[in-house]
Amino acid sequence: MNSLVHTLTFSACCALFATLGCSEPASDTESSSAAAHDNASLDDHAEDSDHVETPLGTTMIGDLEVQCAQGHGETAPGREMHLVVKLPYNDNGATVVRAWIGVEDRLDSLVALGEYAPSHDDYDIHAEASDPLQADAAWWIEVEKPDGSKQIGSIAFL
């Protein structure tokens, strides 16, 4: 009985591999057509108004003059927003950048960790706006240098 189970299992595996091995590889035309479709989708995505980064200007975070831009349109309560932070120095991502939308004490805010983008030498942060959004809310940015020192500042959102 045990040898019958092994024989059936082996036969099923062989049939599966034979079926997979018989499929024709995609032609160069089909491959380039699929790649063109994928690239067109990326181009359409890049033109989406939610992915446009609008400069917010510069702000002082401690002794650092930081450039910021916002993506995903205008800020609304509970909505995920995108902040781009450009530090005045390059340390290849060794600095930790956090941000939140709300008030300085972080009350009712979700703090998000920035992801360093080496191709742009900046930090991308996706944070959800507090809900309700306080009247004095802003983007709050915390910069923690490799030496452990922290500085906090803010900039108005869209």
Residue environment code for 125-156, b if the CB has 16+ CB neighbours within 10 A, otherwise e: bebbbbeebeeebbbbbbbebeeeeeeebbbe
Q: What is the mean pLDDT of the chain?
A: 77
Tokens 């995505």 belong to 45
73 is written with which tokens?
């349109």
Q: 49-69, pLDDT tens digit by residue?
A: 456 899 999 999 999 999 999
Does pLDDT of 99 surpass 70?
Answer: yes
Q: What is the pLDDT of residue 107?
A: 79
Q: Class assignment of domain 50-155?
A: mainly beta
Does pLDDT of 86 surpass 50?
Answer: yes
Domain map (residue ranges) of the chain: 2-46, 50-155
Q: Is 69 exposed, middle or buried (0-12, 13-18, 19+ CB in 10 A)?
A: middle
78 is written with which tokens?
């509970």
Q: 6-31, pLDDT tens digit by residue?
A: 444 444 444 434 444 444 444 444 33
